[in-house]
Amino acid sequence: MMTRAHKAGWVAICGFGLAAAGCDIELGESTLGDLGEVEFSYTSGCFFGCSLDRPLLPGTVGRISVSDAGDAAGVLASCAESGIATASVVRSCVCERGGDGWAEGAPVEPDEACEQGFDKRCDNVIELAAHAPGDATLELHQPSDGELIDRVTVLVRQPNSAWLENDGVSLPAGSPLLLRVGQSDGVRVLMEDRDGRQLLVTGGVTWTISDPQIAGFPQWLGDPAHELVTDHIVSIEGLAAGDAAISIRAGDFELASPLRVVP
């Protein structure tokens, strides 16, 4: 696969939220299809686009943006290796207008017309569901005659190793995550396959705290939860002084890490 950076620049601002979500990974990259017609870029699980040489975690769904011919109406997406991954096209459109220092827009259905004075812009996103480890060929075809537009290889891999990061700092194996009572911290898990490639984790991760009296996952409503199924990033709140353990499960892979809450 050929990988190249998007020509559009990206803003090099990394606040706490972006840092916790992985602002240190490669940003603004895409993968050029085998026929050189379409650029493919993961938009879920990374900021500003990631190339397709990042493997997906089985049981998750990656969202892939496409350029040029891949954005045409009616484009069909498929993977021959359906046991490894399957693909579908989601088309979204917006009516927009703007001027000097102002802009406005609203989403519309693909077959819906815009009001006078608005321009309609539509984009395709490929939703790639990862089912089992392996390589799959993602193909885009014309809707009229089935002609191949472009194709690209996508990777699905099981994690081989994993570790936790707290505020962008990796926790050494066996070292506890330290929290104070009443403190909430952003924590993320990073996973690599056996070849040392960092996995793109968009969901399918079960986080569990062994003692819900010691710490929990803050909720918008109600008490903190002791178990959460989400992606690679969570917020953990210290509830009472003591020791507990964090368990992170993804398929058959599990990582356990100690947790300590101090007054």
Is residue 134 within 8 A of residue 156, CB to CB? The reply is yes
Confidence at residue 187, expressed as pLDDT on a 0 to 100 scale: 94
Is residue 25 within 8 A of residue 127, CB to CB? The reply is no
For residue 163, pLDDT beyond 90? yes
For residue 27, pLDDT beyond 60? no
Is residue 97 within 8 A of residue 176, CB to CB? The reply is no
The CATH number that domain 161-262 falls under is 2.60.40.1930
Is residue 169 within 8 A of residue 192, CB to CB? The reply is no
Q: Where are the domains of the chain?
A: 2-156, 161-262
The rounded distance, in Å, linking the Cα atoms of 257 and 237 is: 16
70-103 pLDDT, tens per residue? 999 999 999 999 999 999 999 999 999 998 889 9
pLDDT band, very low/low/confident/very high, at 23 (cuts 50, 70, 90): very low
pTM of the model: 0.81
The rounded distance, in Å, linking the Cα atoms of 63 and 222 is: 31
The rounded distance, in Å, linking the Cα atoms of 37 and 39 is: 7
Interstrand relation of 177-180 and 253-262 (parallel, antiparallel or unpaired): parallel
169-212 pLDDT, tens per residue? 999 888 999 999 999 999 999 999 999 999 999 888 999 999 99
Q: Sign of torsion, CA 23 127 252 204?
A: positive
